[in-house]
Structure 1
Amino acid sequence: MKAYFFCFAFATNDRDDIFRLAILNRHEIVFSLVNRKNMLLTWDRDMMQVADMRVKKDNILHSAGIFVSLDHIPGPALQMQRELQWFKAVENFVHPSLQEQRNESNKTPRQVFTKSHKDLVTEGEKWMKETAKNCTVVAALIITVVFAAAFTVPGGNDCDKGTPIFLHKPSFIVFVISDSVALFTSTASLLMFLAILTSHYAEKDFLESLPKKLIIGLVTLFFSIASMMGAFGATLYIFLSHPWEWTIIPISLLGCLPVSLFALLQFPLLVEMISSTYGRSILQPTK
């Protein structure tokens, strides 16, 4: 990678061009290899442009505001998050005076970013709403099922005392805990997805607010599905523990199928979102 960087440096006639090309092509590793001392050397030239207000030229922050499509990032919402991270990171490197400098089109870097990412914001909003709507339906169905199961306990209730017949069985305790966890987590998941649907979808919301809500919603939805399957398995164990005990294992394995499918299908997206939101910040200096 170092050899690639030096070849990149020789290919350009100016140090500023190295930064600009790295930003335009979203080469995070190349940009991070340039230490802050080298970045400070470019401020002298940029400050000369700021001092002469007649000079209207795109600075490095203008380049960061230009939209670049990244194929390896799934979903327009995550692409918008990564573009915001790039813009914020470059904004921290340049001199504050450059943040309001206008280019030949009389636009500031923020205005260039807003105009360039207008379509991406619309696509990200559509993607977020469709994902939230689909997950809201699943969460609502789980709430309906587990809420009804809480009042129709397996085995029924004692006619005299009103307590469940299998109250003291360990499998019944597992059922109660699993059903309660499924109800609470599915409710939390539903609230997160409703919060996504009612969001204003401003540019800054794609940086942390919307991804965090979607992460919490998907995680709680996964636990609600797993807990619902646990409650189902505990109920079968209560009914089939004596005459049909041999059927418990294959039925339990089949109960793990929807949980596994949900994990396999959503796990890559969830990992990407967690890594992008809570992982190492973009353009962080490397050792």
Structure 2
Amino acid sequence: MSSIVNRQEKMFSLLYRCEASRATFFSLVDSNGDTMLHLAAKLSPPSQLARISGAALQMQRELQWYKEVESIMNHPLKDVPNKNNQTTRELFTDEHKDLLVKGEEWMKGSSPSCTVVGALIITIMFTVPGGNVQETGYPIFKNKKSFTVFIVADAISLFSSSTSVLMFLGILTSRYADEDFLKSLPKKLIFGLSTLFLSIATMMVTFCAALIIMLNGRLEVVIPVVLLASIPVTFFMLLQFPLLVEIFMSTYGPGIFNKKMKRWY
């Protein structure tokens, strides 16, 4: 029981692999009438929650624990109330109500800054360097290969930043039920951050192509300017990319339990 209460993934995996005693183990009930699923529905110890960054990811991990234990519990015990007359689902909701609020605040606090960045990219994209030929209305540099690179990268940056802004606006207007923290909200955040990074990368390609066009390929000027312009972009991506990786692994990774762990006998 302590492996569930203290969220010990490795110990739980070992117990899961012990098929002979697994059914007996998950049928146990403690003195408070709590089943294994009741214990999984309780809030993790603060020391375990502190290992995970962000209240939204903490809520997701709590749901993963609950869902995993629920999937292997005996069906008759799933909806049995404890001595406080609480079902497992009611206990989970009661125990995690504060974390749910913190998770919502964390998601809504992270989204506006990314929305602002995406909106800024939208406003500066699709400005054609050099202007147009007055007689025809076509861009002056339309026959240059670097201009083709500029147009393609500019279009990708514009579309991806627009998509990113829409995804973050969707996060801000989501309902924030506890179940949404398992898949729905993390998927939106992953997609929003991914498209934002794509828009930033293609924006830099657009900027480089525009400089090459305007300066007629003078690399001794283009390279230093591009390096200087890359500094704030690099800082932003270094700060946000680890978060994207963590959310992706938490949502689409192998899971918190190793069900293929070898037995100790």
> Does TM, scored on the shorter chain, surpass 0.5?
yes
Q: 8 Å contact 1:75–1:127 — kept in the other structure? A: yes
| Unaligned segments of structure 1, at least 5 residues | 1-19, 50-54
Q: Does 1:258 align with 2:241?
A: no
Distance apart, 1:159 and its partner CA: 1.6
Equivalent position amino acid for 1:266 in 2: Q
The verdict on how the C-alpha distance between 1:116 and 1:72 changes in structure 2, with shifts beyond 3 A counting, is same
Measured in 2, the distance between the counterparts of 1:66 and 1:157 equals 65
Instruction: Find out whether 1:41 has 2:15 as its counterpart.
Output: no
Identify the residue that residue 275 of structure 1 maps to in structure 2: 249
**1:118 is matched with which residue: 88, 91, 97?**
97
Q: Deviation per CA, 1:89-139, whole angstroms, max 9, x where unpaired?
A: 000121111111111110001111000000000000011011111111111
- Which segments of 5 or more consecutive residues in structure 2 lack a partner in the other structure? none
Q: Does 1:32 align with 2:1?
A: no
1:202 aligned residue:
177
Cα distance in 2 between the residues matched to 1:222 and 1:86: 31
2:87 corresponds to which of 108, 112, 128: 108
Identity of matched residues, %: 50
Whether 1:96 aligns to 2:75 is yes
Aligned to 1:59: 35
TM-score by length of 1: 0.85
**1:1-287 alignment to 2 at 5 Å?**
20-34=1-15, 35=17, 37=19, 38-43=21-26, 45=28, 57-68=33-44, 69=46, 70-147=49-126, 149=127, 153-241=128-216, 244-287=218-261
Amino acid at match of 1:272: E
Q: Any idea what SS the aligned residue of 2:125 has?
A: helix
Query: What TM-score do you get using the length of structure 2 for normalisation?
Result: 0.92
**Aligned partner of 1:33: which letter?**
L
| Counterpart secondary structure, 1:200 | coil
Deviation, 1:43, is 4.8
Q: Secondary structure at the match of 1:57?
A: coil
How many matched pairs?
256
Q: CA deviation at 1:245?
A: 3.8
1:120-173 Cα offsets, whole Å, 9 max, x none, are 0000001101111111111111111114x1xxx111111222111110111111
- Give me the CA root mean square deviation: 1.7
- For 1:82, the aligned partner's letter is R
SS of match in other structure, 1:216: helix
Contact 1:222 1:262 survives alignment (8 Å)? no
Shift of 1:286: 2.6
Contact 1:23–1:63 under 8 Å retained in 2: yes
Higher relative contact order (CA 8 A, sep 6+): 2
